[in-house]
Amino acid sequence: MITLAIVAVLAIGEKPEVPVLDGSWWRIAAPPKLEQYGTGKEQSVDFTLFRAKDGTWQLISCIRNTSHPGAGRLLHRWEMRINP
């Protein structure tokens, strides 16, 4: 689907938008403290980042290699407010 959208834009003569970094990299989240589910081998994977209606940024990730019952995976959410 993305390929078709890019082809359609290029076909009408417009250039696709390209994201550009505005400044230095900075950390938006730290590894979560999982308390009883921590193993020391946790990995944060499969991120989703979105802006909530209240203006905060929400980052959600699957944390794998935990001691959580079942498959050892759980979801974790970070929240951040950026003041312009």
In tens, the pLDDT along 25-50 reads 877 788 888 999 999 999 999 999 99
Domain-by-domain residue ranges, the chain?
36-84
pLDDT, position 7: 55
Return mean pLDDT, the chain: 83
pTM, rounded to two decimals: 0.63
Contacts of 58 (CB under 8 A, 6+ apart): 48, 49, 50, 51, 52, 77, 78, 79
